[in-house]
Structure 1
Amino acid sequence: MALDEHSTAHGIFRPSPDDMEGCYGGVLVSSLGEGEEAVALTGNKRDALEAIDQYYREVCGMPNLLDRVGADLRDAYYHLDCGYAVFTRSPVSGWEISPADPTTAGAVPVTWFRGAPAGPAPVPYARRDDPTLC
């Protein structure tokens, strides 16, 4: 079996731009199925927020990743989860992603966006006295 530079013998691979839906600010992003979920290949929430927001605006035609005109994107931090994951090839969907321990062979840092329900983020996430994102 021939392996490309992103694959391992166990089918775990590190996604390349060809595997994902886009690259925004140097961060690879892809949706996760038909819902409003997405994943960014970074463990940095700020970079993920900017990349996923740009993805939702450009690809999905939404006003932002919260799908609310005028929404404060600081509210989106509540809906972002950083961690590690492994990507495996799938004959059905191209690839699958599974949460993993950072010590797992082939695990990469990711940030999941699980979708945002209507309304503001719960307190303390909606505090307005924190530093402003630039």
Structure 2
Amino acid sequence: MTVENVVERTRSFDPYERGCPSRDLLDHIGSKWAVLVLGELGRNGSARFSVLRRVLAGVSEKMLTQTLRGLERDGLVRRTVYPEVPPHVEYELTALGQTLREPLKALTEWSVQHVEDVIAARGDYDRRADLAR
């Protein structure tokens, strides 16, 4: 594929336009649980469902299942079933999923660095809103 083809292909997708498939993809990969699942799999290579559930404190079994299925459907996560008794299932990032490691790592690092600033801004906003009442 030539550079011109790549540029033309990406121009046809505009997440600011209603109905754009890239908007749907942003919804999937931008969800809280998807970001955390992708981050954990990026850090550790692969994980069993029970490990993900334990590491991602607060996620319900149903939500984790839905998140993993969605990421698998999007081609970002691979589910491997090992024929053992009981069955052993592991999840790992696909090559496409690996391409999200750096952007998600940057987003996660930003959130850790700036969480105190955001908490302070929320407090200021809430105080101003209370005074306006």
Q: Provide TM-score, normalisation by structure 2.
A: 0.26
Bigger-Rg structure (1/2):
2
**Highest RCO, 1 vs 2 (Cα 8 Å, sep ≥ 6):** 1
Between Structure 1 and Structure 2, which shows a larger proportion of helix residues?
Answer: 2
Between Structure 1 and Structure 2, which shows a larger proportion of strand residues?
Answer: 1
